[in-house]
Structure 1
Amino acid sequence: MEQLRSKSGFICDMDGVIYHGDRLLPGAKEFIEWLKTSGKKFLFLTNSSDKTPQDLHEKLARMGVDVDVGHFYTSALSMARFLSGQMPGCKAYVIGGHGLTAALDEAGVTITSENPDYVVVGETPSYDYEHIVTASLLVSNGARLVATNSDISAPFEDGIRPACGALVAPIEVATGKKAYFVGKPNPLMVRTGLRMLGVHSSDAAIVGDRMDTDIIAGIETGLDTCLVLSGVTSEEDLANFPYRPRLVAPGVGAIVPA
């Protein structure tokens, strides 16, 4: 644990690590205060795409935690960066929340259902059959299928909820086309986070609750890895994966020195 604490940069997940829904997890406030008072460079790297960095700042503020907007990077922002790099000024049919549409609009992506270059899928509570039909038709007619993240589920106050991977699956099945996911564990998102922090991978750590996104992303990009058991992964689940995090902790509070 001392080796982890000595790192200069921390990339942290949010759902299942800092909070469940609108409930702050035990030790999260103390962990964030430790990051700030210890002079650590830190970034909350979340696969959730429905909120903007400002939304996340305000959400934590309601929980009594003050984190500057610049400390958040979402899969929606990663998607916007990816599309603007691949095809500047492209058009996209978007299934997603305000965080995704705002990021795409800021990047100059035209949101439309008329001959789009891409079909973009993210989390949204308004997902319905009409979205599946429209997206499937557009992909069948040549639009490229991309999605913010491959997470099948996400932790919530009273259990789990379907996430982007579950929402894009019907479109993949209907069209026979596989989506390209820009969020974790895609190295594009983690490397962008490291550049934002200005820290080399050897001096950074990733803290998350998912083996298939956070931990594998850390391993593949050379970060120290800490799995917390406060989200979707239990200690028994570790046997299902051929790789392991270097550290396993009950929650982020365990990282804070006594």
Structure 2
Amino acid sequence: MTNKSPVECWLTDMDGVLVHEEHAIPGAAEFLQALQETGRRFLVLTNNSIYTPRDLRARLQGSGIDIPEEAIWTSALATAQFLHDQREGGSAYVVGEAGLTTALYNVGYTMSERNPDYVVLGETRTYSFTAITRAIRLIEGGARFIATNPDVTGPSAEGPLPATGAIAAMITAATGVKPYYVGKPNPLMMRSALNRIDAHSESTVMIGDRLDTDVRSGLEAGLRSILVLTGSTRPDQVDRYPFVPTRVCDSIADVVPLVHEFSPERMAAAQSEGGEHREADA
């Protein structure tokens, strides 16, 4: 993120960056306010497929953060868009919650237990042995296996919970079929988000709290990245990965000044002032 690289659009993870266990992280509201005040296009991303954007907006409002639901992009929405592009008007057997089924309905998909085109696995807090058994048998019968995200655990106030990746491993062990994961770290999630707000990778930054998903997917999609240390990644873990973020910040509060500093308007003004100084020196 140099003075020659203005930032027009921002993508940011939700949990660990903006909120932590239903509480806003200091600086989150100010960061989103700065984006809206400067007219920057942005999306809040999450691998969690349980909730609809309306649900998540209400959750954020409860934390003191107010953004439109159109500014929220979930792995469920990305999965639905992917399936629509692959097989328009198809059918799916879904193991998941309202966030996933609603997204699929909205792109014209039919939910079916009989010869579906896809078995789609998402996040849920009530995994059913019966539903998993049905998914296994449908995949063995020829249904394609899709999963919203590879996270093996999710956070809760009581501790880690088994997540989509863990259940997918169970189904894979029983069928020998690995799912295609749509969510982070698949750069497809980043590209679908960029398309959503008509953004270009060279002028967009991804903010996240995980190197293995947020930073990796941003890197593979050609975005610059900022790692914040308020979530899953500890400072001593940063150097353990074969890739590094563009910048490391303690929290989202440290990113607020960058919204203004790297805006196209500020960059253009700085370059103009630099040119005037060079002419004066000449």
TM-score by length of 2: 0.85
1:193-248 Cα deviation digits (max 9, x unpaired): 11222222111100011112110111111111111111112122224321111111
Q: In structure 2, what is the Cα distance between the partners aligned to 1:152 and 1:254?
A: 30
Q: In structure 1, what is the Cα distance between the partners aligned to 2:94 and 2:102?
A: 11
1:30 matched residue in structure 2:
30
Q: Do structure 1's residue 191 and structure 2's residue 191 form an aligned pair?
A: yes
Q: Which consecutive residues of structure 1, in runs of 5 or more, have no partner in the other structure?
A: none
Tell me the matched-pair count: 258
**8 Å contact from structure 1 (residues 16, 155) kept in 2:** no
1:166 matched residue in structure 2:
166
**8 Å contact from structure 2 (residues 172, 178) kept in 1:** yes
Where in structure 2 are the equivalents of 1:118-197 lying within 5 Å? Answer: 118-197=118-197
Q: Which consecutive residues of structure 2, in runs of 5 or more, have no partner in the other structure?
A: 259-282
Q: After alignment, is 120-129 or 149-158 more displaced?
A: 149-158
Q: In structure 1, what is the Cα distance between the partners aligned to 2:32 and 2:161?
A: 26
1:153-200 Cα deviation digits (max 9, x unpaired): 233445433322122111011111110011122222211211222222
Aligned residue identity for 2:218: G
Q: Which has the larger radius of gyration?
A: 2
**8 Å contact from structure 2 (residues 5, 203) kept in 1:** no
What is the deviation of 1:71?
A: 0.6
What is the deviation of 1:6?
A: 4.5
Aligned residue identity for 1:209: D
Q: In structure 1, what is the Cα distance between the partners aligned to 2:237 and 2:141?
A: 40
Q: In structure 1, what is the Cα distance between the partners aligned to 2:63 and 2:129?
A: 35
Change in Cα spacing, 1:180 to 1:115, as seen in structure 2 (3 Å) is same
**8 Å contact from structure 1 (residues 123, 167) kept in 2:** no
RMSD between aligned residues: 2.0
Q: In structure 2, what is the Cα distance between the partners aligned to 1:15 and 1:141?
A: 37
Aligned structure 1 segments of 4 or more residues deviating by more than 6 angstroms: none
Q: In structure 1, what is the Cα distance between the partners aligned to 2:160 and 2:232?
A: 8
**8 Å contact from structure 2 (residues 95, 120) kept in 1:** yes
Change in Cα spacing, 1:80 to 1:207, as seen in structure 2 (3 Å) is same
1:110-169 Cα deviation digits (max 9, x unpaired): 112111111100001111322221111111111111000112223344543332212211
Aligned residue identity for 2:151: D
**8 Å contact from structure 1 (residues 60, 66) kept in 2:** yes
Q: In structure 2, what is the Cα distance between the partners aligned to 1:169 and 1:239?
A: 29
Aligned residue identity for 1:130: T
Change in Cα spacing, 1:189 to 1:52, as seen in structure 2 (3 Å) is same
Change in Cα spacing, 1:89 to 1:232, as seen in structure 2 (3 Å) is same
Change in Cα spacing, 1:196 to 1:113, as seen in structure 2 (3 Å) is same
Q: In structure 2, what is the Cα distance between the partners aligned to 1:3 and 1:222?
A: 18
Q: After alignment, is 138-147 or 233-242 more displaced?
A: 233-242
Q: Secondary structure of the equivalent of 2:183?
A: coil
TM-score by length of 1: 0.93
Change in Cα spacing, 1:158 to 1:16, as seen in structure 2 (3 Å) is farther
Q: Do structure 1's residue 251 and structure 2's residue 251 form an aligned pair?
A: yes
Q: In structure 1, what is the Cα distance between the partners aligned to 2:99 and 2:86?
A: 20
1:74 matched residue in structure 2:
74
Q: Secondary structure of the equivalent of 1:257?
A: helix
2:279 matched residue in structure 1:
none
Identity %: 43
**8 Å contact from structure 1 (residues 20, 156) kept in 2:** no
Q: Do structure 1's residue 89 and structure 2's residue 86 form an aligned pair?
A: no
Q: In structure 1, what is the Cα distance between the partners aligned to 2:235 and 2:4?
A: 20
2:62 matched residue in structure 1:
62
1:21 matched residue in structure 2:
21
Q: After alignment, is 33-42 or 76-85 more displaced?
A: 33-42
